[in-house]
Structure 1
């Protein structure tokens, strides 16, 4: 009979296993914890949950209550389930956003706060939770440690998810950096907006009324920026985090306190030296304050550090950034003013951090499908038919930046493709603002007979201040359709967008592209017919070879031969070239399934089937399309109309679906 001790052990073990199964406890992922915590279990959302990200200067000495210091410290979590609640100890005003949606304000609350009174859809979600500190008396005595946090609570069985590490910008300043005068203070400030725009962590080491210089009548950041709390005496432990950039905006208040130019310059130089000592790898930015006080001295302090061999210190000239309408009271920016500052700072700071601007051609969260010429990092050019880009983004609006006149289609949130004809410059895709939250965008340029109608040059997207693009999770299979004007969708209502290739890809939830040329032949004919068997391997119509390492198609569908007969291509030549073409496709797509469609006109069917057999490739197949395209599905006895493309799609997608299911 088991001893009482072993019985208790089994009971405890059973309870732990039950909790793990229910998702009440989370095991720390391997490699993500210190030796002291590795292997321990935690309740999802608790302070000990390693998937919670605390940004800012948090006092974590009390394992039951963490205390955030300075301005608007915040905590983030990715989680599953349908609800999330946050628990705070002290009465405070807090802000929260779920799935990048509207910032919710909870005024003077304590205890457990329901952040999702309307349950979310089941799935994965994201939440950040922050505090209003400093500008209103949310605590009994400011600055008292009112930003307390005791954990998140999720659905029973829900779990938190690991989050990627981010770069971090630390902002050092006064009431302008705090966001004084705006509705939500720090979360309306340029510091918060810039951090969110660039998708980085951000801390706000600032206090209203602060000077650079410590005085009897002015709080000096030169002596306090490295403390754990505002006005405290405990030094911050800089091993807790390392800033990748530090933006300093000080001097507005020093002039009114009689600080001399010489003292200001010396104190600024010393602050830059100290910041370098604490953050040896950071880029340091000295912000010319908006009132243009001590600009020469600020720049001289930067130059002193440069002369000392520190090239990673930069002066930011802010002259003429704002106008009178951008201020609340002539000194403090309003929400629009802070947005302008963030938008001006972004292209200055981002390159030093190696971060592409959100929505720019180089933004990895903008996904380009098809063949794009990316040789110019500021202007990407789609080449073959069916190239498009997609992205997820936050905010309420999106504008497409075009070089010259162009026609294109745009779809927002999976809605109807809207046609924009003869537009150029900054094109507003959302004349009616969207709801706040996460959105999707797809843009496809209008192609005509193998080229594009207009100047198809993508130069980027403009989003709301503080908005950013988001990565598209997961990999979707890629279908590549190779052909002529039929594959392009010529004579259908929206050309490529109503072609069987586009429709098949959309129906199967796959990415799709068309390597097709209006009037093209399989064989490069003597009379000048473009030979797709050769042109397929080019970026477009030039001599540059396409880099097949850019993407790998999962399935390649070839539909060629309709035009070869009228260009005097013999059956023997057609079969020989087709065989070699299929082998060449296999060489660049070694893992793809290849389908050779019989032409809908019935031309070269025997030769196409024989070419497939000649490859001796078990993953290259012939598809008999006899009867797929009736007369009512044609516009001119050759090109399918919308009905015809839909009928082809209905016959082709079951074949493609089985291949994708097998490959999954």
Structure 2
């Protein structure tokens, strides 16, 4: 058996989403849909990955795509650091993509390398490249795909699939790479429980949620930025309009510095997730109006709630609602961007 060991800092690996690569022996990540792309000629490969305990002590899940199709799903646990992935016996060239399905609450993981195996020839790796388009998403549990494959209560990582959430679907629709910075329960200036000590603008620039290293946005500024925040700010009551609008527009201004050529899309939807949804709608429309006055291209997109569209876990969007969101947002982005 011939084998080839690939270290995490190998230049042929294309990392997807934000990750901390300050240690050349690891690529540490926790944001949903973070992952990697490789092009390999081999019969099988061994993925080396280490999982760290998070706020919720549950395993992480990763979807492995081979040549554009879902190949297998890995359950990554702290007790195991090697995962065998069988490909084909003919040693053809494979385009492999590995995406994290779960969100940061289950802890960070590190890609520690790969080992390629072949019977009849030396395995090979070719350089994988990013797609020409990049869409950056900032959000809460909806963007994470929380409970989109479930129907119960509580966070179940096996039923929360970022690979089938609307950001991933939009990436496929528009042939774009996708980066997701999102965490369940967070808002634009306060959490769902009213706590203002943590919100997305306070941690969005980390390489991953638990990292002390900031992400280097100059690596690849986004072409489009999609923000779906604000629902959690309304869960514990109607926030002050000025505070909400100022926090939101200020966040967009911060993001515009990182993505100077991007167009921004503020999402309101599913639009009936809180009782005071009409006030939320008005606040978000005000955000868009004020953002445009700052000279930033910003569009407002409202997504209606489908009948039974919130039948996922804890009344979150199910798979049908995510598909609905992806279709509407994709069309709007394509029209605005000229794609």
Normalised by the length of structure 1, the TM-score is 0.43
Is 1:102 equivalent to 2:70 in the alignment? yes
For residues 436-455 of structure 1, what are the structure 2 equivalents within 5 Å?
A: none
1:262 Cα deviation after fit: 2.1
Is 1:124 equivalent to 2:93 in the alignment? yes
Compare 273-282 and 122-131 and name the one that shifted more: 122-131
Structure 2 partner of 1:283: 263
1:132 Cα deviation after fit: 3.7
Contact kept? 1:321, 1:340, Cα under 8 Å: no
Structure 2 partner of 1:111: 81
1:307 Cα deviation after fit: 1.8
Is 1:265 equivalent to 2:231 in the alignment? no
Q: In the alignment, which of 149, 162, 187 is matched to residue 111 of structure 2?
A: 149
1:184 Cα deviation after fit: 4.2
For residues 388-399 of structure 1, what are the structure 2 equivalents within 5 Å?
A: none
The 1:331–1:266 alpha-carbon spacing in structure 2 relative to 1, beyond 3 Å, is: farther
CA offsets, 1:298-340, max 9 Å, x none?
1111111212222x2111122x352224532574111121111
Q: In the alignment, which of 180, 192, 195 is matched to residue 217 of structure 1?
A: 195
Any stretches of 5+ residues in structure 1 without a counterpart? Answer: 1-21, 25-42, 136-141, 356-664
For residues 613-652 of structure 1, what are the structure 2 equivalents within 5 Å?
A: none
SS, match of residue 102 in structure 1: strand
CA offsets, 1:215-238, max 9 Å, x none?
672531122222233265543222
* Counterparts of 2:270 and 2:3, CA distance in 1: 51
1:190 Cα deviation after fit: 0.6
Structure 2 partner of 1:313: 298
The 1:104–1:317 alpha-carbon spacing in structure 2 relative to 1, beyond 3 Å, is: same
Kindly report structure 1 stretches of 4+ aligned residues shifted beyond 6 Å. none
1:181 Cα deviation after fit: 0.7
Contact kept? 1:324, 1:330, Cα under 8 Å: no
Structure 2 partner of 1:169: 135
Normalised by the length of structure 2, the TM-score is 0.82
The 1:149–1:330 alpha-carbon spacing in structure 2 relative to 1, beyond 3 Å, is: closer
1:253 Cα deviation after fit: 0.9
* Counterparts of 1:214 and 1:351, CA distance in 2: 33
The aligned length equals 305
Is 1:65 equivalent to 2:26 in the alignment? yes
CA offsets, 1:614-646, max 9 Å, x none?
xxxxxxxxxxxxxxxxxxxxxxxxxxxxxxxxx
Is 1:239 equivalent to 2:218 in the alignment? yes
Any stretches of 5+ residues in structure 2 without a counterpart? Answer: 53-59, 149-158
The 1:164–1:234 alpha-carbon spacing in structure 2 relative to 1, beyond 3 Å, is: closer
For residues 132-531 of structure 1, what are the structure 2 equivalents within 5 Å?
A: 132-134=101-103, 142=105, 144-145=107-108, 147-156=109-118, 157-166=122-131, 167-182=133-148, 183-214=159-190, 217=195, 219-230=198-209, 234-258=213-237, 259-292=239-272, 293=277, 294-310=280-296, 312-318=297-303, 320=304, 322-325=306-309, 327-328=311-312, 331-355=315-339
* Counterparts of 1:121 and 1:315, CA distance in 2: 50
Bigger Rg, which one: 1
SS, match of residue 61 in structure 1: coil
* Counterparts of 1:185 and 1:271, CA distance in 2: 27
Q: Which has the higher contact order (CA 8 A, sep 6+)?
A: 2
* Counterparts of 2:73 and 2:170, CA distance in 1: 21
* Counterparts of 2:182 and 2:309, CA distance in 1: 24
The 1:217–1:301 alpha-carbon spacing in structure 2 relative to 1, beyond 3 Å, is: same
* Counterparts of 2:37 and 2:61, CA distance in 1: 17
RMSD of aligned Cα (Å)? 2.4
